[in-house]
A and B are shown apart, each in its own frame.
Chain A
Amino acid sequence: MVIVGTQLSAKTLHPIFGNECRIIKSSCRVQVYLIDPIPVYAVEQVPNEEYIYDYKIMRKMEFKKNIAKVVTDAILDTMQYLPLVTKTCPFMGTYAVKYTVGKKTVTVVISANPCDKVIIFCPGSVIDKKHIDIKDNGTLLAAIRFLFNPVENKIPGTI
């Protein structure tokens, strides 16, 4: 009837990022991007423009691990994700967050309100190109907005 205790090994894995969670936790520097909503095919990309997973980068910032902690905590917070249901609205790229350890990267491309979703890119991993919805008005977007504009935005969870 009911499965008991079979999730033991799974419990050690992050439900969203699995083993690749360690890349996010270990990355010394974190890149955060403001991106165009629609990706551009590689052959159509403008040579002098920068792209991340085919999304044109509008603004790029890099943070030390401790400064980016507010975003990293939100990305690793399983409560921010909706793994069982999906909104039927089109993904519109807004931000991307990239973690790097050696040659391994985890990049989270984010579609912001009102169609809050992410696509996870992690080449060579089972989570590569994983689509998952995130909660409306969650802490992830608030954390990224704080990093981009700490004067006018607050750290999620603070008053």
Chain B
Amino acid sequence: MKNFKSAKTGFYTLLLLLIGVVYSGSLFSQNFYEIKFTDRAGNEYNAFLVYKSESDAYMRVAFYSNSEYRVVNVPCEAKTGTLDDGTHYFVLYGSSPTYVTDHNRGEQYNPDTFVWLWGNGTEYGLPYVTDDPNFSEESFKQVDSYTDLNPNEFTQEYLNQYYATDERDFLALMNMVNDNYNSYTNNDVDYNNTNYNNENTSYTNNNNTNGGKVTMHLVIVANTAISDIGASCEKDKQRMVNEMEAVSDALGITMKQYIVDGKNLTRSNVQSTLSGLQPGSNDIVIYFYTGHGFRWSNQTDQYSNMDFRYNPYTQISEQTCMTLSEVSSIIQSKGARLNISLADCCNSDVGMNSVSSEKFLTSKSDPNYDEKKLAHLFLNARGTIVSCAASPGEVSWCNEDDGGFFMFSFFQAFHEEVGYLSDTPTWDDVLSNAKKYAIYKTTNGCNGCTSQNAVKSVKISYN
């Protein structure tokens, strides 16, 4: 057995964190993991972890109890943060286990808690596990293995270790395996075709304008040159580009990027970029802003003002900012089918009236999305979405590793919604869950964060 105490001198600090308030950062996207561990009596356990977000994960734990095969379902929550000595931790708490298999009367399973620890610039190693609800130091034991699973390699036999064949998630995972198999056998769906019925679904794109083609116009405005949050904004920008490239590739639609960043960030450049948009009536326009935000003391619009100053020496004025509402109005006037305007920035009072003169694991593009669900969100949806990261008076939060918490949460929610384990996706669910996950990240300690509650308007109909 590995000695947990020797691995972490600040154990008691961690213990307090396990019991009490913890900082929730981010850090997985919807993914699948396998953890093998052994208890002190030598009993072996295999766990299959399905991780969607910090507040939405579950584990299937398989083991033998007196030669009887058992599987329990354990809902999980994750918290992450940093101890005073700089050691980072990621804790996965199990709770309320239920048996999936038959079990004897009175047979109980103590939910497990897993703890990963790592230092700056070092890789995390195998986690520690305990089923002691008091987290006694002696109870922690290093697991035997921890594996990031490739869903393309799932087999029915593998999944049947953890699921009954008629379970909803089993069927969803097998659909994912089959779809991935089909994609390898050149059975892709061409979403630019006016009819792309796939299997038993009937997502039909009947809008033949723009030659039957769909183009995604991705406008990214990022304050990558500002000294305090520029690195975080760069992270957001790259994530947005990567995610939307993956989406457009998966759907087979054209993507056009319009990026205003660095020292090109000015109101006039943003305006001219928006003015230059010429989407077709079946196109998608996505506007994404990452940078500073604020609201005037006398502002009534609930959405943030986006601060387009990359240089702190520039006076703040109406000539250096624009509200998300204004951007959304401009975009809507272009007549695209689907308009999405998102801003990851603060919405707190700047203290001035408007003046008229003026690692654990980082998020990744999840390849495991269900293309039919992607099509439902991007090709069958019509209308307008506007959302900013914080309510009036609130600040929003970011860090250099994960970027903006709102944007990170948005993609967690998005991955969850287009994953195989979800129901029919809706943009309202994506934005609602993004808001929920951002609240979770900022209210569970967060070393001083204050809660950020996103503002959203989702007016979408689906074909």
Contact = CB atoms under 8 A, between A and B. Distances in A.
Interface in B174-196: none
Given A90-B307, A131-B228, A85 B87 contact: no
Contacts, number: 116
Contacts of B309: 90
A86 B448 contact: no
Nearest to B2: A1
Contact of A86 (B8, B232, B389, B450): B232
Nearest to A6: B119
Contact of B398 (A5, A86, A117): A86
| Chain B interface category by residue count | 35 or more
A10 interface: yes
Q: Determine the main DSSP class of B at the interface with A.
A: loop
Interface stretch (A26-34, A35-43, A57-65, A99-107): A35-43
Contact of B397 (A5, A41, A88): A88
B317 to A, nearest CB: 10
Q: Determine the main DSSP class of A at the interface with B.
A: loop
Interface in A69-114: 82, 84-92, 114
A20 interface: no
B346 A40 contact: no
A140 interface: no
B274 interface: no
Contact of A114 (B9, B348, B449): B348
Contact of A85 (B125, B313, B446): B446
Contact of B312 (A1, A2, A4, A91): A91
A2 B316 contact: no
Interface in B322-357: 344-346, 348-351
Contact of A131 (B118, B227, B293): B227
11 contacts: A2-B8, A2-B119, A3-B118, A10-B86, A38-B316, A84-B23, A86-B232, A87-B397, A91-B312, A115-B350, A133-B448
Interface of A: 1-7, 10-11, 37-41, 54, 82, 84-92, 114-115, 117, 129, 131, 133, 135-136
